[in-house]
Each structure stands twice: as structure tokens, then as C-alpha cells.
Structure 1
Amino acid sequence: MEAFSKSMCRIGSGRIPSFTRRGWRRRGRVRAKLKVELVAYTPNPVELCGRAAGVSYDKEEKEDYGAFIRRIVALGHESVLEHASFTFRVEGISRALSHQWVRHRICSFTQRSQRRVDESRGGYVLPPLDSLEEKKREEVRGKMEAFIKSSFDLYRELREAGVRAEDARYVLTNATETKIYWTANARELRHFFRLRLHKESQWEIRQMAQQMFDLVYRVAPPLFEDLRRLRETGEP
């Protein structure tokens, strides 16, 4: 095949390149679906944080660690929550989301590499476009989807022409799917939830935060239950 075809120069012209139309039929690209898993967490996180808090009073043994932690959280003494950590596996999210997410600092990320992984068959995420009326929404979504798919096909041509993945990735959009393992302690998680469960948060990262909250609340309610209203309404 040619190193570079003429069709590669037409992505921004309003036309869908011929190789893109062929590519859709051949590879059948699909939208990514959000999936959040809680893959590991500190055993007995409420008791551990309660025992740690009890050191301040020289009394680690408590009849009700949950009630004790609720009082500690209400007082704003959240440093003891750093002893409990939670690890998530997340897929079906966009690079637009991950650019926001990695701004959270007191935590650990491991992300799918676009240097080591060929993205020719990668997935993508589309926004709901709920600010538009239905007819206009479908029209705009179609244009966005066409452009995103054409970027994947240009990426494929570049790779077949011998361009390295680390260079070919420059043509991909923020819609490109990524996968991440994330570990954070309970205190950092609470900070994350305060920001990302809020109704003014960007829709995609808010959906992810909602799923994360549901998972950790199920295993350690006293650490997070004061944030339930924020989870349900988007308001503190």
C-alpha cells in the first residue's frame, strides 16, 4: 500500500474519506461502555480507621467503630481515614475524562498506554449532547461520530505505513477510550466525591464517581454516608 494516501488529507474537509467508509464496514467500531469495578480494598476499613483514631485517646477498643468514625468525620478529623485504601478498575472512559481525573494528586494511577498498545481497534465515548433538541442532537452526534471514526482509520493507515504508535496517536481525539487502575485512600476519595459528584461536574466523570461511591458505600458506609445526599442530588 502507499505510505500516505490522498484520502488521509481530507478528514477536516467535511467529506468522509473513502478508507473510512470501508473501515466502518470492515471493523465495525463501537462506542465504549463505562464499567467500574472495586477490585481490592483494605480489610475491615471502618474498624481499622476507628482503631487508628482511638490511639489519640489511648483507647483503640470500641464497642461500635461505625458510630465512632461518624463522630470523627463530623468533627472534620479525616486524617485517620487515610489508613483505608480502595482500588478500582475502570474501562469505557474517554481521554477527556482521564485528563481531568489525573489532576487528583494523592492517589495512584496506572493507565492503558498509547505507546505500547495499538489503538487501531480502540473504542470511543460520545457525549449525550443533552443541551440540544433531539433532531439537532442526532445530526451533531452523527458528525462527531464520523470524525472520530475517521481519526481511527487515519491512525491505522499511519501504523501500516510504519509510523510508531507513540507518534500515530497524535491524530486521535479526546473521545478515545482508555482504561485505568486507581488506588486512593478514603480521605482522598471523599475529596474526589465532593468535587466529582457535584451537579456542576462534567457528566462523564460524575457518572464514574457515582458508580465508585455506590461500591465503596456498600463495603464501608460510615466512611462515606454523609455524602449520600451529594450522590443522590448533586448538591452538598
Structure 2
Amino acid sequence: MKVVSPAFEILTPIDGIEILKTIEAVGRTCYKSEDKITDDSCVNFVQGIINRGHEAVIEHYNITVRLTNDRGVSHEEVRHRIASYAQESTRYCNYAKDKFGNEITYIDIRGGMELDPKVSKLDVAIQSQIYDEWVDACLDAEKHYNKMISLGATPQIARSVLNNSTKTEICITMNIREWRHFFDLRCSPAAHPQMREIAIMLLKAFKTMIPVVFDDLYKKYVTDAKTE
């Protein structure tokens, strides 16, 4: 059994200013105001687009990321309809083979426990007991998975005993407008704690790499929520 933290990798090369310039070039078509484009006009133009809610313009740029999180979280990620997905398949990946270290990899639940408004307030000793129960359940699932494989079961049959904490990698491509929608839903305190964990991590990266576009969401869910 292996336990890892959630993680992400941004696969699309990101040049924040060039993204804004592309959006500006598209957006100014609506007003035929291309003559107002300067070296730095894109920042204020895109800020205005966001402020006015004219977000159809920012659909003209896609970003692809690879997220490493648990399968429970991935079921929520794929509910975003304006997106494309490619996900690690438990039907074909045989985790009992050397390629996967002959073990199941699980996403650590500690981060989710810290963001859960009820669990985070429990006594530390109780939290430790909860975590130990999770570890025991994961070890048990791994044992039965490996046994089923050794008996001749295919991965698509053996996967039935795996739990929601099983690590998965999922590549997601969305346009910038849908990424804003993603963050607005998935960084919210109403979202699942482990969904929030990975979403806030990614929002911080997007905000750092792309000027203006994610500033309001960063302020709403990171600065104001004091998640840093």
C-alpha cells in the first residue's frame, strides 16, 4: 500500500500575457476596436470582460491539466460537461504487476479531514483513530484485490473491491470560462473537502500564472477563506 498527496500538472504551456492578448484580439472583434490594442491594453480589456460578465469571450482559450486525486473526487470532476477527459482506467491497469509496484496507491485523506468543518474540530486522538480505520480499510482492499488477481480475476473484476480513496490520474481540458465555473463550484466551502483541496491548489497556480482572469475567485476562496 502506498499513500500519496493530491497533485496537479499543467500540461498546456502557459504564458499569461499572451493568453490575455489572445482573448483581447477575440473580444475586440465584437466592437471592431482592434485599433485600441497596445502592448499592455490586454490586462484592462480582460478585466473589463470579467467585470461585465461577458465571459463568452474567454471560452476561446483552452487549458489542459493532469490531476492526481482519488476516484471519489474524479466522479465530481467529470460532471463538468464543457470539457474533455482522459482517465487512468482500473479496467486495464493491473496494480498487482511490477509496473505499479505490486500495490494500490491511495490519496491521503489528511488534507480532506483538515478541511472538513466537523472532523477538523474533533479531538486529535479521535482524528487519529479515524485515520487508522481508513488505513486498515485500504490495506484490506489491497489484500483482497491482489488475492483476486492471483486467483485469475481480471483487473476489471478485481477493481470492484477498491475504494474511493484509490489514486487516479485524470487529464482535463476546459476553456477558461469553464475553469472559472469549476473553481467557483469546487473551491466553495460547500464542496467536498478533498475536492476543495485539489481545486484550491490549482486555483493558486492559475492565479499566479495568468493575470486578472482568476483574481476575483482567488480573493473569494483563498484570501478571504484564509486557506493559505
Q: TM-score range by the shorter chain?
A: 0.7 to 0.9
Are 1:75 and 2:52 counterparts?
yes
- Write the distance in 2 (CA, Å) between the matches of 1:57 and 1:112: 44
Deviation by residue 1:204-233 (Cα, 9 ceiling, x = unmatched): 111211121122222221221122212323
Contact 1:41/1:87, CA 8 A, preserved across alignment: no
2-structure distance, mates of 1:132, 1:46:
45
Q: Does 1:98 align with 2:74?
A: yes
Q: Hey, what does 1:125 align to over in structure 2?
A: 107
Higher relative contact order by CA 8 Å / sep ≥ 6: 1 or 2?
2
Structure 1 position 35 matched with structure 2 position 35: no
Distance apart, 1:41 and its partner CA: 4.4
Once the two structures are overlaid, the 10-residue window that deviates more, 214-223 or 94-103, is 214-223
**How far did 1:131 drift?**
4.4
- The equivalent residue for 2:20 is 46
The TM-score normalised by the length of structure 2 is: 0.85
Corresponding residue of 2:155: 165
Give the share of equivalent positions with the same residue, in percent. 26
Amino acid at match of 2:144: L
Letter in 2 for 1:99: H
| Mean Cα deviation higher: 76-85 or 194-203 | 194-203
* Alignment partners' CA distance in 2, 1:132 and 1:160: 41
Letter in 2 for 1:138: S
| SS of 1:222 mapped into structure 2 | coil
- 8 Å CA contact 1:110, 1:182 repeated in 2: yes
CA contact (8 A) 1:82 1:186 kept: yes
Structure showing greater radius of gyration is 1
Q: In the TM superposition, what are the counterparts of 1:167-182 in structure 2 within 5 Å?
A: 167-182=157-172
Q: CA deviation at 1:30?
A: 2.3
Distance 2:133 2:206 in 1: 38
- Scaled by the length of structure 1, the TM-score of the pair is 0.82
Shift of 1:234: 4.1
- For the 8 Å contact 2:6–2:108, the answer to whether it is kept is no
Q: How many residues align?
A: 206
Q: Is the 8 A contact 1:197 1:234 kept in 2?
A: no
Which residue is 1:135 aligned to? 125
Q: Which amino acid aligns with 2:70?
A: S
Unaligned runs of 5+ in 1: 1-28
4+ aligned runs moved over 6 Å, structure 1: none
Unaligned runs of 5+ in 2: 97-102, 114-118
Q: 2:145 and 2:121 mapped to 1: Cα distance?
A: 31
Deviations 1:172-226 (A, max 9, x none): 1111111111111100000011111112221111121112112222222122112
2:181 to 191, 200, 220: 191
The letter for the 1-side match of 2:89 is S
How far apart, CA to CA, are the structure 1 residues paired with 2:201 and 2:72? 18
Aligned CA RMSD, in angstroms, stands at 1.7
Q: How far apart in 1 are the matches of 2:122 and 2:26? A: 51
**Residue type matched to 2:170 in 1?**
I
Indicate the residue corresponding to 1:146 in structure 2.
136
CA contact (8 A) 1:41 1:84 kept: no
* 1:170 to 1:193, Cα distance in 2 relative to 1, 3 A: same
Write out per-residue CA displacement over residues 11-66 of structure 1, whole angstroms, 9 at most, x where no aligned residue.
Answer: xxxxxxxxxxxxxxxxxx22121111112146521111111110011123412111
- Structure 1 residue 55 corresponds to structure 2 residue 55: no
Q: Does the aligned pair in 2 maintain the 1:42–1:84 contact within 8 Å?
A: no
